[in-house]
């Protein structure tokens, strides 16, 4: 295990169709696409008091112990992480840990500009933005928020401050934003960004996911191959989630495509990730049906040695694979916003 994803809040100011589809537009889309006369039972989210969630000191302690066990990469997620107060202070604490060679943040970008300089000064070096559409109306339909302008400004600001590489995540849903695949790729090429196309996964609170909504990584690659010509860009490491492609005849740094295909081409065998939820649960898989509660140890009298022993036992329970598309698949009780991507 080398990669620890840390969710610092389950709250979000967006209502994306693949996560918290609570807008009328989302309901209309899924109602129109559903083949069933029965409406799926949505996951009910209960807001918890602040004391329910880990403090920054508790998060830093877990990260410090994890680095001693071999973790070298930390990613802060949510919900929307920048909704939590004083995130640069947490970044500073984590950046000072020995053994961390990659500290990143995933954000929808809406509040990035007002925190950007402080995040950079605190030690953050990489940022990933979620951008599912370049059309203002479609962006609002997908996210429930008229925030495209703020997001594009955030990407520009991140470049000005020297964040690198800047990665963009786009979840592609058939008949919703799949017509923008080439447009998003051209944007990455023009702006020298890494655009990562992600298959739609069953982690939405509306439980409306259907296989028919999925645009596979292979289909995306074939379309981009026809439009631009692609060539392999190599692998970051054996456990990387994305297959990397660059535009044919382009120079290094002139944009890149990543394809993340957990539904059609699972990469479970190489997975090296653990997830810490905002309320102190360790998840050994994005689709785990069981969580391991670390908070009682953190708030009890457990020593670092106790926590090390506990974490090692938890890691041995990591699932060999997810079961998306199989008859026995069961969607996790938590949505993506409460798990942390």
What pLDDT, on the 0 to 100 scale, is given for residue 44?
Answer: 56
At 327 the pLDDT is: 73
Q: Specify the pLDDT at position 203.
A: 72
Percentage of the chain exceeding pLDDT 90? 68
Average pLDDT over residues 67-76: 97
Q: What is the mean pLDDT of residues 326-339?
A: 77
| pLDDT band at residue 43 using 50, 70 and 90 as cut-offs | low
| Number of domains the chain contains | 1
Confidence of residue 41 (pLDDT cuts 50, 70, 90): low
- pLDDT reported for residue 285: 86
In the structure, what pLDDT confidence band is assigned to residue 179 with cuts at 50, 70 and 90? very high
Using the predicted structure, report yes or no on whether residue 295 has a pLDDT greater than 60: yes
Range of the domain at 276: 3-339
Does residue 45 register a pLDDT over 80?
Answer: no
Show the tokens assigned to 128.
């990933």
What pLDDT does residue 240 have? 78
Banded pLDDT at 305 (limits 50, 70, 90): very high
| 194-199 vs 230-232, strand pairing mode | unpaired
Provide the pLDDT for residue 33.
63
Q: Of 263, 214, 215, 210, which Cα lies nearest the Cα of 34? A: 210
What is the reported pLDDT for 124?
97
CATH, residue 121: 3.20.20.70
Angle CA 259–263–268, to nearest 5: 85
pLDDT value at residue 81: 97
pLDDT digits (tens, 9 = 90+) for 126-150: 999 999 999 999 999 999 999 999 9
Report the pLDDT averaged over residues 163-185.
96
Kindly indicate the confidence band of residue 37, based on its pLDDT and cuts at 50, 70 and 90. very low
pLDDT at 339 (0 to 100): 83
Half-sphere exposure (CA, 13 Å, Cβ side) for 290? 6
159-188 b/e (C-beta count within 10 Å ≥ 16 → b) = eeeebeebbbbbbbbbebbbebbeebbbbb
Mean pLDDT of 57-72: 98
Mean of all residue pLDDT scores within the chain: 89
Tens of pLDDT, residues 226-273: 999 999 988 777 767 889 999 987 766 689 999 999 888 877 888 899
Residue 58 CA: distances (Å) to CA of 184, 216, 276: 39, 39, 11
Is this model's pTM higher than 0.85 or not? yes
pLDDT at 40: 52
**pLDDT, average across residues 34-50:** 58
62-88 CB burial, b ≥16 within 10 A, e <16: bbbbbbeeebebbbbbbbbbbbbeebb
R_g of the chain computed on alpha carbons: 19
Mean pLDDT of 98-110: 96
Do 335 and 20 contact (CB within 8 A), yes or no?
yes
CA-nearest of 189, 146, 143, 195 to 169 is 195
pLDDT for the residue 205? 67
Does the pLDDT value for residue 217 go beyond 50?
A: yes
């Amino acid at each position: 295990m080398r990669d620890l994803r840390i969710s610092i809040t389950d709250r979000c100011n967006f209502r994306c169709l693949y996560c918290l589809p609570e807008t009328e537009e989302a309901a209309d889309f899924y109602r129109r696409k559903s083949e069933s006369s029965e409406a799926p039972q949505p996951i009910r989210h209960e807001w918890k008091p602040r004391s329910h969630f880990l403090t920054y000191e508790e998060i830093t302690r877990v990260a410090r112990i994890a680095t001693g066990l071999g973790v070298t990469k930390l990613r802060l997620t949510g919900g929307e992480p920048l909704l939590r107060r004083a995130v640069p202070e947490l970044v500073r604490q984590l950046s000072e840990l020995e053994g961390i060679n990659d500290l990143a943040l995933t954000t929808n970008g809406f509040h990035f500009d007002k925190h950007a300089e402080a995040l950079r000064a605190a030690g953050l070096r990489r940022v990933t933005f979620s951008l599912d559409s370049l059309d203002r109306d479609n962006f609002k339909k997908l996210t429930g928020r008229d925030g495209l302008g703020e997001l594009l400004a955030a990407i520009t600001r991140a470049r000005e401050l020297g964040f690198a590489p800047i990665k963009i995540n786009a979840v592609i849903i058939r008949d919703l934003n799949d017509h923008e695949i080439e447009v998003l790729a051209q944007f990455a090429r023009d702006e020298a960004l890494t655009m990562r196309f992600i298959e739609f996964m069953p982690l939405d609170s509306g439980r409306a996911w259907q296989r028919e909504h999925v645009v596979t990584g292979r289909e995306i690659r074939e379309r981009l191959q026809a439009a631009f010509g692609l060539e392999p860009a190599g692998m970051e490491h054996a456990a990387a989630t994305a297959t990397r492609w660059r535009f044919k005849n382009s120079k290094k740094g002139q944009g890149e495509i990543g394809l993340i295909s957990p539904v059609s081409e699972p990469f479970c065998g190489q997975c090296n990730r653990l997830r810490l939820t905002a309320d102190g649960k360790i998840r050994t898989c994005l689709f785990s049906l069981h969580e391991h509660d670390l908070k009682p140890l953190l708030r009890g009298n457990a020593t670092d040695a106790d926590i090390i022993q506990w974490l090692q036992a938890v890691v041995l329970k990591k699932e060999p694979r997810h079961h998306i598309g199989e008859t026995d698949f069961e969607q996790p009780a938590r949505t993506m916003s409460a798990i942390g991507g």
